Amino acid sequence: MASTVFVAVEINAFRYFAPLWRRWLLAGRAGWKVVLGDMAAVHCRRDGILGNLPVSAILPKNATGVTWPLDDPDADRVVVSAGDSYAIERAVVGWARGQGVPSLQVVDTWYNYALRFARATPDEMPDRIGVIDATAVAEATAEGLPADKIVAVGQPAWEEAPALPRPTRKRTLFLGAPVARDFGRTLGYDEWEALDVVRDVAKRRPDLTGELLFGPHPVQRDTPPDRLSPASIVNDSMAALRDVEIVLGMFSSPMVDALLGGRKVISVQPGNVERDMCPLSRHGRIPRARDAASLERALGEISGDGEALRRDLLGSCDRLEAAIMAMTT
């Protein structure tokens, strides 16, 4: 039996692979193992059956001098996340290429395709790059990734995203993100400008937002309360999706879970008129607010159609599994 080695560095990568891993655990499938980055390992410990994962190593995301899987000559294929061109990802793909072992690296969302491979040398580029759908294939190719390497393999985590319960009162969650750290001023706004637009609307039109909550990125957890007012902070943004009616953000992944769960979702990108980093608004699935006035209008409109996206994602886990099985056939 072919031996499959998975590498998942970030939490979102863990979530992406989890439905397939759960399927294989329940089926008692042998001949596979998992390497986790330290961020993904934290999430693994919280997740039921996945506590039985065949984890062979947990490594810091930017670990250097990685020797694994040099001590695993039985690996027949490697399936690797494509996060921020992490050292672990590059090392494993480079090892696979050097050994003639087929490699698949997967992009779990609809943006920054080429950037995820920016630090990879030619010898660290995978044999195949998996993306979500035909739209992602076109976008990744337009960003300069080699068309002959790209294949649509779905997004199993979002295929399984549950419908969320009806909220008991009007609440709005704003999702923080380190835009200034990662993009500087290249987008025309940062997270604090987006938050200020939301705060302004919440103060003037509480009838549209209800109670305002702020879901921080880990680098924002020490933000002073007066910088957030009238928002109150929540510890777990994903859990908070269950208790809100409206979800605002710039281009955070939980916005997809919120739309699939039946929430009203709006991308807030103040002053931005060109590059739209939010795939949901870029693909026409949700509104994009560029100022307080357009945010007010969007809050008063009917929300986007998450069911259309859910239909598009059907069969994701099957497609990913089929792509992995085809690597050694």
Provide DSSP, 54-116: -EEEEE-TT--S--TTTT-TTEEEEEEE-SS--HHHHHHHHHHHHHT--EEEE--SSS-TGGG
More confident residue, 156 or 219: 156
One-letter identity of residue 129:
I
Whether pLDDT at 71 is above 60: no
* Residues 229-236, mean pLDDT to the nearest whole number: 93
Domain ranges of the chain: 3-153, 171-309
* Residues 122-134, mean pLDDT to the nearest whole number: 97
Task: Grade residue 66 by pLDDT with cuts at 50, 70 and 90.
Answer: low
Q: How do residues 182-202 score in pLDDT, each as one tens digit?
A: 888 899 999 999 999 999 999
User: What pLDDT sits at residue 49?
Assistant: 65
Whether pLDDT at 68 is above 60: no
More confident residue, 95 or 64: 95
Least confident span in 89-93, 109-113, 172-176: 89-93
Give the predicted TM-score (pTM) of the model: 0.91
Q: How do residues 238-258 score in pLDDT, each as one tens digit?
A: 999 999 999 999 999 999 999
**First CA to last CA across the chain, in angstroms?**
12
CA-CA-CA-CA torsion for 36, 40, 46, 49, nearest 10 degrees?
A: -40
Do 202 and 209 meet the contact criterion of CB atoms below 8 Å apart?
yes
More confident residue, 68 or 79: 79
The mean of the pLDDT values for the chain is 91
Angstrom distance (rounded) from CA 75 to CA 65: 19
Tell me which CATH homologous superfamily contains domain 171-309: Glycogen Phosphorylase B; (3.40.50.2000)
Do 246 and 263 meet the contact criterion of CB atoms below 8 Å apart?
yes
CATH number of 3-153: 3.40.50.2000
Do 227 and 271 meet the contact criterion of CB atoms below 8 Å apart?
no
Angstrom distance (rounded) from CA 309 to CA 159: 9
The beta-strand segments (E) located in the chain are 3-8, 32-37, 55-59, 75-81, 103-106, 128-131, 150-152, 171-175, 211-215, 232-233, 246-249, 264-268, 288-289
User: What pLDDT sits at residue 223?
Assistant: 87
Least confident span in 36-45, 192-201, 287-296: 36-45
Task: Grade residue 275 by pLDDT with cuts at 50, 70 and 90.
Answer: confident
User: Helix, strand or coil for residue 53?
Assistant: coil
Whether pLDDT at 46 is above 80: no
